[in-house]
Amino acid sequence: MAEMEYLEALKQKHKELSERVEQAEKSPSPDHIQIAEMKKQKLHLKEKIFGMS
């Protein structure tokens, strides 16, 4: 059961990062370095999620 909760937490964090990236990209002066870092974090989370599935 704990594994499923962890998986759901990873999915939620991935979703939140997606929203943050989207907001950052829409800003008048986006911080491209920060956006790239968030995208790396998203990819890392996605790899963990698919590794557990």
- The number of beta carbons lying within 10 Å of the beta carbon of residue 21 is 19
pLDDT recorded at residue 1: 66
State residue 12's pLDDT score. Answer: 98
How far is residue 49's CA from residue 45's CA, in Å, rounded to a whole number? 6
**DSSP label of 29:** S
Q: pLDDT band at 53, cuts 50/70/90?
A: confident
Count of CB atoms within 10 A of residue 45's CB? 20
Cβ–Cβ < 8 Å for 10, 48: yes
**For 5-50, how does the pLDDT look when each residue is reduced to its tens digit (9 = 90+)?**
999 999 999 999 999 999 999 999 999 999 999 999 999 999 999 9
Taking 70 as the threshold, does the pLDDT of residue 51 lie above it?
yes
**What pLDDT, on a 0 to 100 scale, did the predictor assign at position 2?**
92
